[in-house]
Structure 1
Amino acid sequence: MKHNRNLTRRKLLLGLGALGVSTAGGFAIVTEPARALDHTTTDGNGLVLDWAATRNGGDDSGSVTDTGSTFSYSALNLMPGDSGTLTVEMSLTDGTADSFPQFAFELTRTDENDLTDPEREAGDDTPDEGELQNYLDVKIFYDTGTLGVDMWGATNGEQDLGEGLIDPDAEGTLAEVADALPDKDDVEWLTLDAEPTTSGADPLTDNNTVAVSFGWVFARSGAINATQTDSVSFDLNFYVAEVE
């Protein structure tokens, strides 16, 4: 098995001399540098997935369970101001035909865990259903670096200049995004673009990779009482469909 690390034409041309560039189109390029993804898995069908998870800037891989093509993320014991990311970079093994990466997202658990007095006082009257999914702000975006240049923040977990959402509905509360995007039981998943900074839709090949990041933030301080003890779990699912 070979894990592709070849330079694409985009990486080569845009990377030359990049260290001497500080602005682009009047926008300062100030971002966290590209980061290494410490974990690797494969789906057994030619798709390699490197990944990393963070919470409040530290490692959060213990909150993630990967089963080759599915990443199950559990978030609990959150406080207002907490934030986190799950970044996944996709590539193909040797001999795998050019393929479009496919993505599905599913909210799998919304646990109340316990209904406390502060929750009741905040209006929470659902002992079997948590509310945290309504207060987490999330987005899923291509994490390919500022203006598509890898060294300018690829896989850093931050949405930089030129990094678009994977879908117009891939931003909102966790509940809203889960409702809008296809889940794993849908016939059609969301097709990802392996070269999102170029025109048209491009597949994964022997010579490219593409990364997406799921970012979340618990920014609503007024929700602390309504969400005490609540937790959520969700799945990010990937596979590749061979180009016909």
Structure 2
Amino acid sequence: MNDDKIGLSRRKMLVGLGAVGVASAGAGLGTTAYFNDTETFANNELTAGSLDLFVHVDYSEDQGNYAQYSTEPGTYVDGNVVGIEGQGSTGDPLSIRVSDLKPGDSGEGEFCFSIVDNPAYMWMCGELTANAENGQSEPEMDDDDTGGDPGDGTGELADAIQVTVSYCTDDGDGGNDIGDEIVSGSLRDVMLALRAGVPLSSDGDANAPLADRPTFAGVTEAFTDGEPNVDEQCVCFTWEVPTSVENEIQTDSVMFDFEFYAVQARHNDGAHNPCVDETVVTAYDNDWKGQTLGNPTEGNVYTSVSFGQNQTVLSFAFADDGDGVDFLDTADYSSTNLPVAVDADDDGTHDWQLIWQPNAGFPDAPFGYQPNNGGSYGAAEPLPAGFSAVKVGNTIVFGIPNSDINSTFRLLGYGSTGGEGPIAEVNVDPSLGPDFYNSANAIEFSD
């Protein structure tokens, strides 16, 4: 309703009372009572809605004549516990364990989504929680000289397993049509990307914009006539230990988690990342040279930090304005780069830089590492042992072992396109310019 239909404005109410007063005085009744009338709108009620995510799981693995495994039809996860349609919940989380892993073994899975009652934005998250050496057998020692400390996280299995995560849809014959790739690489790289959070789009477009991307539709119930009532777009993943892998993985083990988040679409643009602990948003600067740029573009960089069990993850998501010019695209900006200076112990001085620069010829191209050697940075070096980096779409992600960074630290980012493009300066006061040595103007993060 609007106000004109349910009541009087203050001006109209005063006029009405004046008219009643004149009528009463003319009648000469001597009463001080006003004529009155009351209309009641009864039993008003406000009821909060709900949003409940069901993840339907179809998973199988192939270990030759050693073992074959698949989830039961109707398997789903709700409230972080597994259930079977028609049988209810088991009360336990869904945990898939693979033993006696050998080169040539593989597995594949499909995740489909029922978001009950409300449409939502979806995110996929995860974490590599263990990558253990577990000692070394005699054949492994011939191929692996890392020492075999059972608890040092230097196992080779996370690097050996190859993983691909893609959008997929039901092909109508019990299989899937595989669509755009979301992320692929070693298990270590894929889990690093998921620790930073990967936004999902219901149209299966891996290049969909971050803000206001297509949402996943809401449904009234997770199952209809015993069949999952799901959004058309699902997520499929495959893993494989290539036959080229040799004895270096013997006795190694890995553990990792997948997570899916559904966040209500109403009053939300989908840009908030539920996978990370803290985010700072910085707008691109197209005026930093004090002149009109020949190739400007608008956008934001989302700098996020995730404090994991074994590593701290820094991620930089560049969200462009959709004009066809992309900050990280070397076809648009051949010199585009992102150096990140880190004061790992929060003592006021940056200790090292992590750099993404695709055309620089770094040893770990496109990534490099530069320690602060008493006030100067030398040539870029390979990433130190235990460090990792990956680029997924328009997001650059760095993983740092917790042993190399404190729970409170500072960072400064200076994304630059060179030439006629913008910059994206991540610090407390961008007007001061970047200082890659003194961290006084860097942004502080704390677990």
TM range (shorter): 0.5 to 0.7
Which position in structure 2 is the counterpart of 1:142? Answer: 167
1: distance between equivalents of 2:249 and 2:119? 45
Query: What TM-score does the superposition give when structure 2 sets the normalisation length?
Result: 0.36
2: distance between equivalents of 1:107 and 1:211? 23
Which position in structure 1 is the counterpart of 2:69? Answer: 59
Indicate yes or no: 2:201 matched with 1:176.
no
Which position in structure 2 is the counterpart of 1:242? Answer: 264
Which position in structure 2 is the counterpart of 1:193? Answer: 201
Percent identity over paired residues? 26
Q: Give SS of 2:169's match.
A: coil
Post-superposition offset of 1:232: 1.3
Which position in structure 1 is the counterpart of 2:237? Answer: 214
Q: Give SS of 1:165's match.
A: strand
Post-superposition offset of 1:106: 1.2
- Answer yes or no: is the 8 Å Cα contact 1:72–1:235 preserved in 2: no
Which position in structure 2 is the counterpart of 1:117? Answer: 138
Which position in structure 1 is the counterpart of 2:121? Answer: 100
Which position in structure 1 is the counterpart of 2:216? Answer: 204
Q: Are the structure 2 counterparts of residues 122 and 143 from structure 1 closer, same or farther at C-alpha, using a change threshold of 3 Å?
A: same
Which position in structure 2 is the counterpart of 1:19? Answer: none
- Answer yes or no: is the 8 Å Cα contact 1:137–1:217 preserved in 2: yes
Moved more, 52-61 or 120-129: 52-61
Q: Are the structure 2 counterparts of residues 225 and 199 from structure 1 closer, same or farther at C-alpha, using a change threshold of 3 Å?
A: closer
Q: Are the structure 2 counterparts of residues 59 and 45 from structure 1 closer, same or farther at C-alpha, using a change threshold of 3 Å?
A: farther
Post-superposition offset of 1:127: 2.2
Amino acid in structure 1 at the alignment position of 2:216: L
Post-superposition offset of 1:151: 1.2
1: distance between equivalents of 2:248 and 2:207? 45
Q: Are the structure 2 counterparts of residues 131 and 60 from structure 1 closer, same or farther at C-alpha, using a change threshold of 3 Å?
A: farther
2: distance between equivalents of 1:199 and 1:139? 16
Q: CA RMSD in A?
A: 3.1
Q: Give SS of 2:129's match.
A: strand
- Answer yes or no: is the 8 Å Cα contact 1:87–1:211 preserved in 2: yes
Q: Are the structure 2 counterparts of residues 107 and 75 from structure 1 closer, same or farther at C-alpha, using a change threshold of 3 Å?
A: farther
- Tell me the alpha carbon deviations over residues 34-70 of structure 1, each in whole angstroms, 9 at most, x when there is no partner: xxxxxxxxxx9511111022111842449xx963498
- Answer yes or no: is the 8 Å Cα contact 1:107–1:175 preserved in 2: yes
1: distance between equivalents of 2:121 and 2:56? 17
Q: Are the structure 2 counterparts of residues 199 and 224 from structure 1 closer, same or farther at C-alpha, using a change threshold of 3 Å?
A: closer
Q: Are the structure 2 counterparts of residues 68 and 190 from structure 1 closer, same or farther at C-alpha, using a change threshold of 3 Å?
A: farther
Q: Are the structure 2 counterparts of residues 151 and 61 from structure 1 closer, same or farther at C-alpha, using a change threshold of 3 Å?
A: closer
Post-superposition offset of 1:117: 0.8
Q: Are the structure 2 counterparts of residues 85 and 241 from structure 1 closer, same or farther at C-alpha, using a change threshold of 3 Å?
A: same
Q: Give SS of 1:144's match.
A: strand
- Answer yes or no: is the 8 Å Cα contact 1:54–1:86 preserved in 2: yes
Q: Are the structure 2 counterparts of residues 175 and 220 from structure 1 closer, same or farther at C-alpha, using a change threshold of 3 Å?
A: farther
Post-superposition offset of 1:214: 1.8
- Answer yes or no: is the 8 Å Cα contact 1:76–1:231 preserved in 2: no
1: distance between equivalents of 2:253 and 2:70? 15
Alignment match of 2:114 (pick from 76, 87, 91): 91
Q: Are the structure 2 counterparts of residues 110 and 84 from structure 1 closer, same or farther at C-alpha, using a change threshold of 3 Å?
A: same
Structure 2, gaps ≥5 residues long:
1-49, 83-92, 220-229, 269-447
Post-superposition offset of 1:73: 4.3
1: distance between equivalents of 2:206 and 2:136? 49
- Answer yes or no: is the 8 Å Cα contact 1:105–1:237 preserved in 2: yes
Which position in structure 2 is the counterpart of 1:231? Answer: 253
